[in-house]
Amino acid sequence: MEPNSSVSASTTRHLPVIRVFVSSTFSDLVAERNALAEKVWPELERYCRQRGFTFQAIDLRWGVPSEAGLDHRTMQICFEELHRAQEASPEPNFLILLGDKYGWRPLPETISEAEYARLHEHAQSPDEQRTLESWYRRDGNAFPPHHILRARTDSPDGQDYTRVAEAESRLHDTDAWLAVQETLWAIVNRAYPVSLLTGRFADGTDEMPPGVRFQGSATEQEIWHGALQVENAREHVVAWFREIDQTGRNPEPSQLKHFLDLLPNQSPDPVAASALAALKTQVEEKLGAGPINPAICRWATDASGAFTGEVTTDHIAPMCETILTRLRSLILRQINDYWKADLSADDATAGAVQASAHTLDLELRDHHRFAQERGPVDGFVGRDEQVRTLRDYLQATTNRPLIVHGPSGSGKTALLAYVAQQPFPPGAESGGVSSLILTRFIGAHPESSTLRGLMTSLCRELRNHFPIQEPLPDTPQKLIEEFYAQLAHATAEQPIYVFLDALDQLEAADQSRECFWLRSQILPQAGESPCHARVIASCLSPSPEFPLESEACEPFRRLQARGLLSEEELGALGETVAAQLLRRWLADRQRCLTKEQWQSVDAAISASSPSRHPLYLQVLHERLRGWRDFDEPTPLPASLPLLIQGALEQLCQPNQHGPLARIALGYLVSARYGLSEGELLEVLFRDPEMHSQLEAAGKSYGHHLPPEANRYPVAPWARLRS
């Protein structure tokens, strides 16, 4: 169930990404959204790219997959994508487009136990009660428990509740589903009547009232999440209104279904019109910039005066200019803040200069965030002995590096990330000691993927503390020499700790995987003076997936030959710790399992030691968090390859994501350096199989892409990510 509490939008920008969620009704604003896709979004992409940023417009009205409606996850996907925009892009992140249509009002996908009880009280017959019980199923694995609207592909009685093809190959809801929907709406309308919309703003906008969840349009619900119940909306929300001048002769109401809300008898819906007017007023008040002057258009007619089924379009060019100007202003402010610059609106080159100047700051920010994600200080479970070993090494008198090794998925990254963030037990470091910690997760950032880049980055960070006037060396060997020379600045009061995770992820250039650069003695000993620098690194150890002779195990072979490996490899977690870790992860997602489901999990993690490796447990957790208490427990594969294979097969099912998952993953694996989200969507759009699927979907559902589209729609991609 979506939270109703007031939302504080993220104020910390982690990446140079502008992500704007577009909220609008569908059928009445097609021309406007086409124009934005053709004129405004490409210009903002260019504008941001020139200044070291990326721009993404998230318009889920294009390419909405049928499956999202059949499994009742449309609103969930919308809210998740909106939240991603808010997290990635504190300002701007939300664009409101409102015309004369209030729009589609969905049945709530998730309801609380109290809301379900209220609905049950208003079911007036045994048939209505059975329908409610069959379609809103209680999920006791949620915390707190709630009821979820059953997927239409999961028929409770064998009837077809999906969609069938009729004239012109268009798909339409089956009569069976229409009957169920009518019954559910009858119950909802009694328990939460549409009249609740009248006073929905009386108590402010800190929380979205139940009346909106049950009777509000999808667009209004998005606006609550994106603008009304967030702080400082004026700083990150842009709104634009359009109104149709209906003072002259109007077409027959039955011809206006794409532009106005109509009742079943094809007359205008006064309740929807009133709800829309109140929503517009509330948006104006929330943004605090005074009334939003709506663009005015009229019904379009042909030479004979007959209605063409469209509205006039002379308002569209000014609309594009208005939205472009407003967004560009907000974006420039964010660019200047991120690069710590003072660029003008016309400066198209300084962004690259600023990007170069802040490369190290941005890289360190990425590594810090990666450490928090992989080894959270408040969420790390187990490995007490290994943590103690690493901490003892940091405080010992030694001049040798410590190499942690273990098979893929054994938790090396999490261990190093945790200790790097908390190298001593809380409160243990005292007496004026202030350690300098350098952490690199090799492969997690482009700068750390090569030996030259890794050494350049480390030397730059060390120069921040121990300045050198000369330019940085330009060869790996000289960079290595400077790195170790800088480590000599370590003292008892300021020891230097270097954490290097995943030596096997280094690119093969410069013989980096031979690890010749990782010295057996950190510093050349001068008499009895102790070394106050420490280096902790990790590498892959042999396994069935990566045998000893594989390229990935070259660091292991080289370091083993030099006697630098720790005595014990990082092995599997104990059964108790593995189960504890799963319970913690599930609890973080407000999920749990039934006793019978836990028995299936226990059988899997006790079957073999690889099934207690953290990576296996993480993938298993992603599967378990989708289990509802009414789902029958199934046998779980006891190996990571089989677990991943099962997950991929599930994703590729026709009623899930079809070929999208297979093709997208294929391109990601094939790309040497990976693909950004925008690049992947461009590649998918040009893939013959995916393009054919888009064309077929357009014919079936009428969701045609903008004429100048050059990317795969965000909507099905967002559903896959969800």
- Within 8 A by CB and 6+ apart from 706, the residues are 33, 34, 37, 38, 62
Please compute Rg for the chain using Cα positions. 29
For residue 92, the one-letter residue type is P
The three-state (H, E, C) secondary structure of 399-412, written as one string: CCCEEEEECCCCCH
Interatomic CA distance for residues 401 and 499, integer angstroms: 10
- At 341-354, the pLDDT tens digits run 777 766 655 555 45
Q: What is the DSSP letter of 414?
A: H
Interatomic CA distance for residues 259 and 691, integer angstroms: 29
| pLDDT higher than 50, residue 456 | yes
Interatomic CA distance for residues 465 and 461, integer angstroms: 7
Q: How far apart are the first and last CA of the chain?
A: 15
What confidence score (pLDDT) does residue 74 get?
A: 87
- Alpha carbon dihedral 436, 441, 446, 448, in 10-degree steps, equals 60
Interatomic CA distance for residues 403 and 504, integer angstroms: 12
Interatomic CA distance for residues 421 and 300, integer angstroms: 64
Joined tokens for residue 318: 């000014």
What confidence score (pLDDT) does residue 667 get?
A: 92
What confidence score (pLDDT) does residue 65 get?
A: 55
Tokens 């090794």, residue? 405
- At 243-281, the pLDDT tens digits run 999 887 788 888 899 999 999 998 999 999 999 999 999
Using pLDDT thresholds of 50, 70 and 90, give the confidence band for residue 408: very high
- Within 8 A by CB and 6+ apart from 528, the residues are none
Interatomic CA distance for residues 448 and 460, integer angstroms: 13
Q: Which string of DSSP letters, residue by residue, matches 472-483?
A: PPSSHHHHHHHH
What confidence score (pLDDT) does residue 203 get?
A: 81
Interatomic CA distance for residues 12 and 620, integer angstroms: 31
Nearest by Cα to 545 from 647, 406, 375, 404 = 406
Residue 111: in which H helix or E strand, if any?
strand 110-112
Using pLDDT thresholds of 50, 70 and 90, give the confidence band for residue 168: low
- Within 8 A by CB and 6+ apart from 87, the residues are 10
Kind of pairing between the strands at 54-58 and 171-173:
unpaired
| pLDDT higher than 80, residue 702 | no
- Spell out the alpha helix ranges (H) of 288-349: 316-339
Coil, strand or helix at 85: helix
Interatomic CA distance for residues 498 and 478, integer angstroms: 19
Q: Is the dihedral of CA 574, 580, 585, 591 positive or negative?
A: positive
Could you tell me the CA-to-CA distances from 635 to 513, 638, 642, 646, 650 in Å, in that order? 40, 9, 12, 12, 15
Q: What is the DSSP letter of 7?
A: B
Cβ pair 498, 436 in contact under 8 A: no
Cβ pair 374, 447 in contact under 8 A: no
The CATH number for 359-374+383-561, chosen from 3.20.20, 3.30.70, 3.40.50, 1.10.3470, is 3.40.50
- At 611-660, the pLDDT tens digits run 999 999 999 999 999 999 999 888 899 889 999 998 888 888 877 788 88
| pLDDT higher than 90, residue 709 | no
Coil, strand or helix at 54: strand
Tokens 């330019």, residue? 471
Range picked from 93-107, 374-388, 690-704 for highest mean pLDDT: 93-107
What confidence score (pLDDT) does residue 11 get?
A: 62
Interatomic CA distance for residues 383 and 412, integer angstroms: 10
Mean pLDDT of 400-427: 91
Interatomic CA distance for residues 564 and 393, integer angstroms: 14
What confidence score (pLDDT) does residue 431 get?
A: 57
* % residues pLDDT > 70 (the chain): 92
Interatomic CA distance for residues 90 and 236, integer angstroms: 7
The three-state (H, E, C) secondary structure of 136-171, written as one string: EEEECCECCCEEEECCCCCCCCCCCCCEEECHHHCE
Kind of pairing between the strands at 17-24 and 94-98:
parallel
Q: Which string of DSSP letters, residue by residue, matches 481-509?
A: HHHHHHHTT--SSS-EEEEEE-GGGS-SG
- At 679-689, the pLDDT tens digits run 898 999 899 99
| pLDDT higher than 70, residue 427 | no
Given phi > 0 = left and psi -120 to 50 = alpha, else beta, which region is 147? beta
Could you tell me the CA-to-CA distances from 598 to 549, 580, 626, 634 in Å, in that order? 39, 12, 14, 11
Phi, psi of 689 (to 5 degrees): -65, -45
Kind of pairing between the strands at 436-441 and 496-501:
parallel
Cβ pair 110, 147 in contact under 8 A: yes
What confidence score (pLDDT) does residue 711 get?
A: 84
Interatomic CA distance for residues 73 and 149, integer angstroms: 9
Interatomic CA distance for residues 568 and 557, integer angstroms: 15
Domain residue ranges of the chain, discontinuous segments joined by +: 1-104+216-339, 106-207, 359-374+383-561, 575-721
Mean pLDDT of 205-230: 94
Mean pLDDT score of the chain: 89
Mean pLDDT of 355-363: 72
Query: Which residues partner with 18 through β-bridges?
Result: 55
| pLDDT higher than 90, residue 692 | no
Cβ pair 523, 559 in contact under 8 A: no
